[in-house]
Structure 1
Amino acid sequence: MIKVRVVEVGGSRMSYRETGDAGGPAVVLLHGGGSDASTWDRFAGVLAAAGRRVIAPDLPGHGGTARFRSYSLAGYRDAVTGLLDVLALDRPALVGHSLGAHTASLVAQERPDGVSRLVLEDPPAPARDGVATAVLSPARVTLLFAGALLRRRRYHPTALTSAIRELRRPDPGWWDRLPAITAPTLVLSGGPTSHLPPDRLADAAARIPGAEFVTIPVGHRIHSLAPDRFAAVVAPFLLLSDR
């Protein structure tokens, strides 16, 4: 059974969904931009059945979590680390999709000893250097804005546009910090139909010590478009510590 809870993190309201064994190893699931924690309900059930405590927060500006005037990638990171502290989660596994994957990578870079396992599903890797690049195509941005108008209660459009703007800028520092990640890591690519270039994701995975790189060629939203294939790859990776 999934329960929706609200806590205060850094003086602001943060909503999260919880299911599974309260005493089991924790897995934190981070959704993508323009989504919310409910996107993980099906996969959360898989992990709960395996004895995990599953926490899926709404990121700032999304779902039941507080809205702000401005957002930053560092702010998403700080919200997640703040939640980990408030809930006293001991070395949880992190699974993130898109914006949530980038956020998970930032948490793992900042707290290398505080993450037990890391799964990055089609993470938006910024350019290392040179000019700004399109993290999303113009057509994709138009669709997201249309969705924002229809689902204002679900997420704050500025939360998404701010992330896109920041991710379009080259960030050599993010690349330089990837080798600091010590958690066993799995990087998933949605393949050629995703708007995120698979070769860049492969390069990012190569910079994380011992990381695995797997392609499930269904597009950007792997866990939604191919939930059984996603679970077949990710759940065993997360449960390896039981063996």
Structure 2
Amino acid sequence: MDSTAPRTTEANGIRIEANGIELACRTWGPTDAPPVLLLHCRGADGADWTHVAERLAAPPRPRRVYAPDLRGHGHSDWPGDYRAETMSDDVRALLAALGHDSADVVGHSLGGLVAYLLAQRHPGVVRRLVLEEVGAPVPLDPPRPPAERPAEEPPFDWAMIRGTDEQRNAPDPVWWDHMDRITMPTLVIGGGPTSLIPQDHVAQLAALIPDASLVTVAAGHLVHESRPAEFLAVVREFLDGRLVTDDS
């Protein structure tokens, strides 16, 4: 797919100029409700959150939900620069363009990495932070080998795979060093023993963030897809300030 080719959004989608590119973003819920931003995993797009978003936007405590396509994914621009720091700048600019000084932020996998970098670098932007299936920023041992490009063109920029693999194999040490800057209430959700993410890395991430809570939902890597009711129950309680358990 040509990275400059026009791409259309779905019926509930908008396009926003942010950080020098255009981001596609799906929206749900009343415009005056508290905002929550959902950040998808690598290779997906904002539609991945539809089931969760519809329920977060519904009464009795509706929220204004935004689910953007990260750069290099779906209907957003594919500019070639796929550093996680740049993606976090995109998110900050997106929220500003939407008229929000801050929002609750939920990130899954790559989206979680982007979310915690946003929280480190711009802590005033994130009110509450949820990190689903995200490990501590430690170098992979052994390193992740080069991914084999599929025969059919994927719905994302293949350069994004190369760029994110490079950072995942050798994360910037600053990511680890600045975990203490994440001072907003934080919930870390692990997927249990069947996840492709080592759960000791998930627990390590939670231990690095001051006063973070860790909850395990034994669903594998795709917690919000495989066990949406449990995921939503935990996230709603946390966003409402009612979560009292540290593990389950």
Whether TM-score is above 0.5 comes out as yes
Residue matched to 1:20: 29
**Does 2:112 correspond to 1:104?**
no
Letter in 1 for 2:202: L
In 2, the alpha carbon distance for the partners of 1:162 and 1:134 equals 18
- Tell me, in whole angstroms, the C-alpha distance in 2 between the residues paired with 1:5 and 1:17: 6
Corresponding pairs, count:
231
2:172 maps to 1:194: no
Going from structure 1 to structure 2, the CA distance change for 1:87 and 1:45 (only over 3 Å counts) comes to same
Q: Gapped runs of 5+ residues in structure 1?
A: none
- 2:181 alignment partner in structure 1: 180
Matching residue of 1:10 = 19
Q: CA deviation at 1:73?
A: 1.1
Q: Could you say which residue in structure 2 is the equivalent of 1:239?
A: 240
- How much does 1:183 deviate? 1.2
Q: How does 1:199-218 map to 2 (within 5 A)?
A: 199-218=200-219
> Any idea what the Cα deviations from partners look like across 1:26-58, whole Å, max 9, x if unmatched?
000000000000010110011101210001100
> Aligned pair 1:75/2:76, yes or no?
no
Q: Specify every segment of 5 or more residues in structure 2 that has no aligned partner in the other structure, as ranges.
A: 1-9, 243-248
Instruction: Give the secondary structure class of the aligned counterpart of 1:116.
Output: strand
- Please tell me the root mean square deviation across aligned C-alpha atoms, in Å: 2.1
What's the counterpart of residue 227 of structure 1? 228
Q: CA 1:113–1:11 in 2, change beyond 3 Å: closer, same or farther? A: closer
Q: Which runs of 4+ in 1 moved over 4 A?
A: none
Q: What is the CA-CA distance between 1:124 and the residue it aligns to?
A: 4.0
> Structure 1 vs Structure 2: percent identity of aligned residues?
39
Q: 1:2 to 1:22 in 2, by over 3 A?
A: farther
Aligned-partner SS, 1:89: coil
Hey, what does 1:47 align to over in structure 2?
56
CA contact (8 A) 1:18 1:56 kept: yes
| Post-superposition offset of 1:63 | 1.0
Give the TM-score of the pair, scaled to structure 1: 0.88
The match for 2:141 is 133
Structure 1 residue 151: deviation in Å? 5.3
Deviates more, 1:11-20 or 1:163-172: 163-172
Cα deviation, residue 11, structure 1: 2.7
Q: Please give the alpha-carbon distance, in whole angstroms, between the structure 2 residues aligned to 1:99 and 1:89.
A: 23
Does the CA-based 8 Å contact 2:83-2:163 persist in structure 1?
yes
* Counterparts of 1:107 and 1:25, CA distance in 2: 19
